[in-house]
Chain A
Amino acid sequence: MKYYLAIILTAILTENFVLSKFLGICPFLGVSKKLNTAAGMSLAVIFVMAMATAVTYPINKYLLEKNGLEYLQTIVFILVIAALVQLVEIILKKYIPSLYSALGIYLPLITTNCAVLGVVLLNVEKRAADPAFGFGASMFNSIGAGCGFMLAMVMFAGVRSKLESNDIPKFLQGLPITLIAASLVSVSFLGFGGIVDNIFG
């Protein structure tokens, strides 16, 4: 239990995908203008990350590693994740229209997002370093990474809404001030370095 908790906290705080690994910056800057779109996008990311890990883990373990084809991981994962998200979209549209209208527009956006591909490749990398990092740990790591993405998005949506009502010099208006704010939020996450190791020993 402690092991899984440490994995989740590491994924959210110290190894935050957006703020420490700089993956998924495109949606981070593009969809963080309003709180509700930021939350919707993040929910879709959590969902897709969990699904992608659940599907790619067995493919990697029983198909690629058995045949010594680890170098195909990236291309196979892209293929599988893209097809999977399309399939999920079709299923949601048919059976859960309310969830589809909430997540629908974000799902195609994240089919081949680097954060989603990053989390499955990172799981493979972690398993190579630590054989105990199995299916359960991979799932927890993915969900944690998604939650970390959500934390960054929701926090940054708050920062941006504050930026809206400030008197910003003309040459900094728009994207420049957003990037500066993003870098400050990112630096603040450095403060979490080592916190998980110290809590869980």
Chain B
Amino acid sequence: MNPILLAVIIVSAIGLIAGLGLAIASKVMAVPVDEKAEKIRECLPGANCGACGFSGCDGYAEALSKGETTNTALCNPGGKDAAKAIAEITGLAAGEVIPKTAVVLCQGNKHNAEDKLIYSGIKSCAMASQVFGGPKACIYGCVGFGDCVKACPFDAISLCDGIARINPAKCHSCGVCINTCPKGIIKMLPVTEVKAAVLCNNHEKGAVTRKQCKAGCIGCMKCVKTCEVGAVSINNFCAEVDYEKCIGCGQCHEACPVKSIDILDMTHFMEYRSE
């Protein structure tokens, strides 16, 4: 037989057999795909951040389609739009999503906070805070090596004067930074409501705090006394705000001698978010 013809026949025969085999196999052994889950998955942002409490967007979509959860408002990055879209697909009631943003509750930047040691090790907050609680005199505040900056999937955090700052317009409130921060000073606050926030976590006595950081809460109780609705309290020499009661009047900020309590008005960031 003509060797060229033979080669052509052999290669095309192998190709044909392989193709047919694959076609038959994909029909015979097809795995039914959960169409509802696929549809829900398309509505989710796909950041796989885990804010919903499931293993990722796929996990949440599967749980919704199988009825393991009926809460359509768990996706923080997706926000209202995602909740509405999911509700339409599943026929569940659309949950109310309050837009939130993560906030670093510390003002201990290089102008305010004193250093206690010169740290020259690995540039990581988790590592640095193992060495006498970090390079800053205050062991409660932002270490400033930017573990959260690296962790943020949306590029919303940057270092500013030695501490982390979160851009509410970019924040998708996934909570990854909250879990990364070794000091636990990042909290989720509502964007649409004007509330007071204590930008300090220092639990030392006032005199000690004063030496460590110019903007540290000294526990003087002035905010507690001025607050008309009783939303502020002092716990272990550091002020705390009850967000349920706070009306955002700003009197505590006026009274605070070190300005460690502030009124956060982030409502104007909302218009940038929707874009």
Q: List chain A positions with a Cβ less than 8 A from chain B.
A: 59, 63-64, 67-69, 72, 75-76, 79-80, 82-84, 86-87, 90-91, 93-95, 165-167
Contact = CB atoms under 8 A, between A and B. Distances in A.
A86 B23 CA distance: 10
Nearest to A92: B29
B31 A93 contact: yes
Interface in B19-44: 19, 21-22, 25-26, 29-31
A79 B11 contact: yes
A95 B30 CA distance: 11
A68 B19 CA distance: 25
13 contacts: A67-B3, A72-B10, A75-B11, A79-B14, A86-B22, A87-B22, A90-B22, A91-B25, A91-B29, A94-B29, A95-B29, A166-B122, A167-B122
Given A83-B21, A94-B31, A167-B123, A76 B14 contact: yes
A76 B13 CA distance: 11
A72 B100 CA distance: 62
B18 A68 contact: no
Contact of B11 (A68, A72, A91, A165): A72
Given A69-B6, A165-B122, A87 B14 contact: no
Contacts of B15: 79
B118 interface: no
A94 B26 CA distance: 10
Q: Nearest 10 CB-CB pairs, A to B? A: A83-B18, A94-B29, A90-B25, A165-B122, A90-B29, A93-B31, A69-B7, A86-B22, A87-B25, A90-B26
Contacts of A167: 122-123
A91 B31 CA distance: 10
Nearest to A88: B25
Interface residues of B, number: 20
Interface string B50-67: 000000000000000000
Q: A interface, by DSSP: helix, strand, loop or mixed? A: helix
A54 to B, nearest CB: 15
B124 interface: yes
Given A86-B22, A87-B22, A167-B122, A93 B29 contact: yes
A166 B124 CA distance: 11
Contacts of A90: 22, 25-26, 29
A166 B14 CA distance: 52
Given A63-B10, A72-B7, A72-B11, A79 B18 contact: yes
Interface string B110-132: 00000000000011100100000
Contacts of B21: 83, 87
A82 to B, nearest CB: 8
B124 A165 contact: yes
A86 B18 CA distance: 10
A63 B13 CA distance: 12
Contacts of B19: 83
Nearest to A75: B11
Contacts of A64: 10
A15 B29 CA distance: 39
A17 B13 CA distance: 32
Contacts of B14: 59, 76, 79-80
A184 B129 CA distance: 33
Nearest to A100: B31
Contacts of A95: 29
Nearest to A91: B29
A66 B226 CA distance: 97
Contact of B18 (A75, A80, A93): A80
Contacts of A84: 18
